[in-house]
Amino acid sequence: MTDSPDKAGKPIKAAPILFALLLSALALLAGCVSSYKTVSKTGPTTGYLHFNDDSVTRVRWEQAGQKLEGNIDVLERKLDGKIETTAFNFYGELNGEIVSLTLDLETTRGGVQRLDKTIRGSLRGDTLTLPPVNGADGAEPVVFRRVGLKEFADAVESLKKRTTTTK
């Protein structure tokens, strides 16, 4: 998509449109590929974010009692400057400060793969600590902070800007 003019002759910026499409695709993906173990969704959605120059990862869940159900969205900047998206669906438990998430489905450009991988971490206040979802065993844990949708959107936009400036 290029910055082509609209009917009034004003240029349409492609970046905001692509960003909106990306968020819509993630929302659709999260809704379409749902876990077969469902939680009665009575609580608010909780989201946690980790980002750096090369990736954005969001953990989002709904909670009913100690039961959790949600997804993990990972956006990574690749060497060719493109952003690759991977989504993991999970179900799990929050027992005090101990978080246990069983990754159920992984969705990438290659399709859907059923997983049966459990990761364990901790939740202390607004800080969630988990091992990397697609990292090697023994890798350093990832620290997430509680955020809303705006902070996630800002982190994705920042990652997109870095891909265009480093091509």
pLDDT tens digit sequence for 53-102: 999 999 999 999 999 999 999 999 988 888 999 999 999 999 999 999 99
**CB neighbour burial string for 59-82, b if at least 16 within 10 angstroms, e if fewer:** bbbbbeeebbbbbbbbbebeeeee
Helical (H) or strand (E) element with 90: strand 83-95
Q: How confident is the model at residue 165 (pLDDT cuts 50, 70, 90)?
A: confident
100-120 tens-digit pLDDT: 999 988 887 778 888 888 999
Q: How confident is the model at residue 159 (pLDDT cuts 50, 70, 90)?
A: very high
What radius of gyration do the chain's Cα atoms show? 17
Residue 133: CB atoms within 10 Å: 19
Residue 116: CB atoms within 10 Å: 7
